[in-house]
A = this chain, B = another copy of it.
Amino acid sequence: MDQEKEITQSKAETQDEILLAALKLFAEKGYFNTSLTDIAEAAGIKNTSIIYQHFKNKQMIAAQLYTDIFDSLNSSIDDIGRINQKSSEQLRGIVDLFFKLTDDAPDVMRFLLILKLNEFLPEEKPVLQTAAFVKIGKIIQSGINAGEIRNINPLLVNAYFFGIINNTLQSVLTGALDKKADAYLAQTWLTAWSAIARK
């Protein structure tokens, strides 16, 4: 019964390869510059027909990536929240995660930070309204309530903190900064935290 899984590539494996290839190409060239032919080729598939056995259309490939990535991010943030209490510690955990992802899974971070998702996924929630980022908003709000973070508009706090973090990571992802993200972690964390911490 499980035998077929051994002999030929399982359905799930093919699907993963399509998703992986699509992620890579979207991150590299953008959604609109990537054709289904490109994806099939990069996934080691003979032609585009196969893709339609796994996904309704091109957009649904992107939608699946969106779901996978934001779900995974959301559960990572849950983990971080379970381990840490203080807002500063939780934010630090998130920053560590973002820097690690930038080095280990740059295409995921390009999808998150660089692609304009609403251009090709107009139905999906904007990034700030996803479960993961709503949680980040709550972490910031607790930090303000606890007196750890400056008492200003939480959305401004978010803009300042992640402005520094994300712009630094974007510079790494585009090659403007030439070392691994990890090399800039300590200094960037300090700067970002100082920008929002209560003096």
Contact = CB atoms under 8 A, between A and B. Distances in A.
Contact of A164 (B159, B177, B187): B159
Contacts of A114: 116
A32 interface: yes
Contacts of A33: 119
Contacts of A167: 159-160, 162-163, 166-167
A185 to B, nearest CB: 12
A195 B119 contact: no
Interface string A170-199: 110010110000001001100100110000
Given A128-B176, A156-B184, A119 B30 contact: yes
A155 interface: yes
A29 interface: yes
A12 interface: no
A159 B29 CA distance: 23
Contacts of A159: 164, 167-168, 170-171, 177, 188
User: What 5 A-B pairs have minimum CB-CB distances, sorted nearest first?
Assistant: A163-B167, A32-B32, A163-B163, A30-B119, A163-B164
